[in-house]
């Protein structure tokens, strides 16, 4: 394996949706004093790692994601690069880095990626560290400047959700209109009229109705739909908002 580049890393903000809430994947950062057993650090961070010398940013992000989910072809997008001098500066951060990188003390800049997956079906694992989904409304203490990075990622997700069909990445292949609506409402923090929402989605040619219904629900089962990226690419027209 190639050497890592010590002052450059990639952090992935992995978002998941469970039909109810928007979640983010975090890794536990735990350090105990070997002699006393005293817990020196116990908080959480985003999933990230240094880039290797023979690796692009995109490749590094995909590698991290694959390591956790086992999946390729996940939605992944670079959203911002973080290089503030004091971005990693808390006593815990320094302690952690000393322990991990042994003496490397330069500033580490990081490139942020966000990723969207359906967290009802994907299982996330990590060799030796705890990994967990947390609802974005109820986060634990975050290490480094990861609270800030997460905030930026959320901003980007929200803004992109308004103008491009990325929401479907958070749903299973087959979904109902209500699930899609719930997703929009949760991520954007708004409410939509059920009938108008449906009307809007119905006129999107790339949201294709199936001859199939929801199963296992204790009420009238809803029709299922799939999203077609191909149809979207073909039918999208350059929109102009000029909202400024």
Partner DNA sequence: TTTGCAATGTGTAGATTTTACGCATTATAC
Partner DNA sequence: GTATAATGCGTAAAATCTACACATTGCAAA
Binding region for DNA (CB under 7 A): 176-178, 193-196, 198-200, 213, 215, 217-223
**Among 87, 91, 89, CA closest to 31:** 91
Write the binding mask 214 to 243 for a copy of itself: x where contact by CB under 8 A, - elsewhere: -------------------------xxxxx
Contacted by 101, from a copy of itself, DNA, none: CB < 5 to 8 Å by type = none
- What whole-number distance in Å separates Cα of residue 44 and Cα of residue 131? 9
Contacted by 107, from DNA, a copy of itself, none: CB < 5 to 8 Å by type = a copy of itself
* Cα torsion angle, 145, 148, 154, 156, sign: negative
Residue among 3 and 215 whose Cβ is closer to DNA: 215
Write the binding mask 56 to 95 for a copy of itself: x where contact by CB under 8 A, - elsewhere: xx--------------------x-xx-xxx----------
Output the smallest distance, CB 62 to DNA, in A. Answer: 35
List C-alpha distances in Å: 82 to 9, 11, 31, 79, 165. 10, 10, 25, 10, 27
Which residue in 184, 186, 187, 224 binds a copy of itself (CB under 8 A)? 184
- What whole-number distance in Å separates Cα of residue 244 and Cα of residue 242? 5
Which residue in 204, 222, 226, 231 binds a copy of itself (CB under 8 A)? 204
Residue among 99 and 199 whose Cβ is closer to DNA: 199
Which residue in 1, 34, 103, 244 binds a copy of itself (CB under 8 A)? 244
Residue among 124 and 180 whose Cβ is closer to a copy of itself: 180
Output the smallest distance, CB 41 to a copy of itself, in A. Answer: 26
- What whole-number distance in Å separates Cα of residue 210 and Cα of residue 59? 35
* Cα torsion angle, 214, 215, 217, 221, sign: positive
Sites of contact with a copy of itself (CB under 8 A): 5, 7-8, 51, 53-57, 78, 80-81, 83-85, 106-107, 109, 111, 161-167, 184, 188, 190, 200, 204, 239-244
């Amino acid at each position: 394996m190639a050497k890592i580049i010590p002052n450059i890393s990639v952090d992935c903000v992995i978002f998941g949706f469970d039909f109810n809430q928007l979640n983010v994947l975090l890794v536990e950062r735990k350090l105990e004093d070997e002699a006393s057993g005293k817990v020196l650090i116990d908080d959480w961070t985003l999933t990230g790692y240094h880039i290797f010398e023979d690796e692009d940013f995109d490749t590094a992000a995909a590698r991290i994601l694959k390591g956790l989910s086992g999946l390729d072809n996940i939605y992944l997008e670079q959203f911002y690069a973080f290089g503030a001098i004091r971005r990693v500066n808390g006593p815990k951060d320094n302690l952690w880095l000393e322990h991990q990188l042994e003496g490397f003390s330069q500033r580490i800049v990081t490139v942020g990626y966000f990723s969207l997956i359906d967290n009802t079906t994907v299982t996330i694992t990590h060799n030796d560290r705890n990994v967990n989904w947390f609802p974005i409304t109820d986060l634990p203490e975050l290490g480094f400047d990861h609270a800030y990075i997460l905030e930026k990622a959320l901003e980007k997700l929200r803004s992109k959700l308004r103008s491009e069909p990325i929401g479907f990445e958070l749903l299973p292949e087959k979904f109902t209109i209500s699930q899609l609506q719930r997703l929009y409402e949760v991520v954007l923090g708004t409410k939509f009229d059920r009938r108008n929402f449906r009307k809007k989605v119905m006129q999107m040619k790339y949201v294709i109705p199936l001859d199939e219904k929801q199963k296992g629900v204790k009420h009238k089962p809803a029709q299922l739909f799939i999203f077609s990226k191909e149809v979207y690419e073909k039918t999208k027209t350059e929109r102009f908002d000029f909202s400024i």
